[in-house]
Amino acid sequence: MAFTLSIHPWVHLAQYNGTEWIDNDLEQEHQTPEQEAALPEAELDALMVQRNSFPGLPLVNYTTQYGLGCFEGLKAFPQPDGSLKLFRPDQNCQRMASSMKGLMMPAVKPELLLDGIRRIVAKNAQLGFAPAYDAEWEKDHWLSGAAVYIRPFAYSEPGIGINLSKKPWVVTVCTNVSAYFTPGANAAVTSQRIRATKGGTGWIKTAANYVTSTLAKTEAINDGYMEAIFLDAETRENIEEGSSCNFFALFPGGQLVTPELGDTILPGITRSSIIELARSKGYTVREEPLSIHRVLSDAKECFVTGTAAGITPLGSLTHDGVKKEFSSLEDGSTANTLLKELKGIQYGAVKDGFNWMMDVK
């Protein structure tokens, strides 16, 4: 099949005009999902190319030339009652604004972005562009569950000289995602590469950070692993995070440790949710420097967290040729228990005691 990205018809466009943020919802050309699925390949490709182009947005700008851009990733989950609910979208909208500030561009108003997201997800769903809840997903605790993936991203005005963006757009697109898990793939390896340095952009969800992450992850995969784990730049002693996910280790006595936030770690929303969830279940959770040697000698379990998978339990971690195995994958492990609880809340089967889920409108 040709390279196709299926973007849903309704897109949210916001732009700073120098004084204020203005926004509108854009309905791109579409048929019904069933009609589109039945199109000959070339016609479907042409339609998807059209849906992935936004009139008036410049090709040559600071984002495409210099990586001066940031983005968000969040999901809307199908509920048993037929509705769709967003997981903590207010947090993503706030992080988008703080990333934009970090890139020294005017920050989008979080409420304007949140309203836009809620509207376009609802409008797309009305057209049938959203997965329907399937009770089959309950059999594997929603590991096979589908969702709507929502991607807001900042995009600069035209420019070819190196500069900051003064009138950025924030474009939000949606697409369906299905389960993101490869059975058996759960081994991680530390990377020689450096993702983030003090004083750098590691804490910002910027496009630029993904160059090193993608190179490291590809090297890990080529060596037979699933994920690359980054160590800190200065001492090469402490674990920071995965290629696009935060890191947790479980120690004896029910103590969970995740590296503390700072310049070099992305403040994941799944990370903070898991911290709250684990505390509510009686775990002690500490945010502190986490040395690779402590993990290799004492950790019982390790897992990584992020919007894509929720929690991914790690079966092993290899560092300098030494492989340490964990019990994270076993039924009843802490990683699996927290994963089921998180997915249960997201798919409307477990009571949302934290008020994390939000309706679309």
Ligand X SMILES: *Cc1c(COP(=O)(O)O)cnc(C)c1O
319: left (phi over 0), alpha (psi -120 to 50) or beta: beta
Contacts of 244 (CB under 8 A, 6+ apart): 210, 213, 217, 306, 308
User: Alpha carbon of 330 to those of 246, 321, 335, 337: distances in Å?
Assistant: 21, 24, 9, 10
Which residue in 84, 269, 277, 345 binds ligand X (CB under 6 A)? 269
Residue 271 lies near ligand X (rule: CB under 6 A): yes
CB of 73 to ligand X, least distance (A): 6
CB of 275 to ligand X, least distance (A): 11
Strand 316-319 and strand 187-190: the pairing is parallel
Stretch that binds ligand X, among 183-191, 277-285, 305-313, 352-360 (CB under 6 A): 305-313
Stretch that binds ligand X, among 2-10, 136-144, 162-170, 302-310 (CB under 6 A): 302-310
Between 73 and 200, name the residue whose CB sits nearer to ligand X.
73
Site string for ligand X, 238-267 (x = CB under 6 A): ---x--xxx-------------------x-
CB of 353 to ligand X, least distance (A): 19
Residue 51 lies near ligand X (rule: CB under 6 A): no
Q: Dihedral sign, CA of 310, 70, 208, 249? A: negative
Residue 99 lies near ligand X (rule: CB under 6 A): no
Site string for ligand X, 69-98 (x = CB under 6 A): ----x-------------------------
Residue 205 lies near ligand X (rule: CB under 6 A): yes
Instruction: Let me know the angle formed at the C-alpha of 163 by 159 and 165, rounded to the nearest 5 degrees.
Output: 75
Beta strands in the chain (DSSP E): 10-16, 21-27, 74-78, 84-87, 147-155, 169-177, 187-190, 227-231, 239-242, 246-251, 255-258, 284-287, 301-306, 310-314, 316-319, 322-325, 357-359
Which residue in 15, 63, 165, 307 binds ligand X (CB under 6 A)? 307
CB of 53 to ligand X, least distance (A): 25
Pick from 172, 207, 167: nearest CA to 54: 172
Between 30 and 271, name the residue whose CB sits nearer to ligand X.
271
- Using CB under 6 A, list all residues that contact ligand X: 73, 205, 241, 244-246, 266, 268-271, 305-307
